[in-house]
């Protein structure tokens, strides 16, 4: 499966043709508490990370917010 992750092409070797947001976060080791996740520019709520799936060709943004200003 090929997606665009944070503006870069990313190839995922999966048994299925989709992956949940939570699973992607796990694979890519995004363990930070403050994340913004968007699929094709739609914001995904945290409570939906398990039930929202990413498909081939999707554009996914995962932005990690850190303190400082």
Partner 1 sequence: MNFQEIKFRLSKKIVGIAGCGGLGSNCAVSLARVGIGKLILADYDIIEESNLNRQYFFYDQIGKEKVFALKENILRINPNIDVQAHLVKLNSNNIIEIYKNCDIIVEAFDKAEMKEMIVETVLKNFPDKYLVCGVGLAGYGKNDLIKTERFGRLIIVGDRQNETCENNPPIAPRVCAVSNLMANVVLEILLGDENENNS
Binding site for partner 1 (CB under 8 A): 6-7, 33-36, 38, 41, 43, 61, 63-69
18 versus 38: smaller Cβ distance to partner 1? 38
Long-range contacts of residues 19-25, Cβ cutoff 8 Å, at least 24 apart? 19/53, 19/54, 20/49, 20/50, 20/51, 20/52, 20/53, 20/54, 21/48, 21/49, 21/50, 21/52, 21/53, 21/54, 22/49, 22/50, 24/54, 24/60, 24/62, 25/49, 25/62
29 versus 33: smaller Cβ distance to partner 1? 33
14 versus 36: smaller Cβ distance to partner 1? 36
């Amino acid at each position: 499966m090929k997606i665009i992750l944070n503006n870069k092409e990313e190839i995922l070797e999966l048994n299925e043709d989709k992956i949940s947001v939570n699973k992607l976060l796990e694979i890519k080791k995004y363990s930070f508490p403050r994340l913004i996740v968007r699929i094709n520019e739609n914001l995904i709520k945290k409570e939906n990370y398990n039930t929202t799936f990413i498909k081939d060709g999707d554009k996914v943004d995962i932005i990690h917010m850190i303190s400082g200003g």
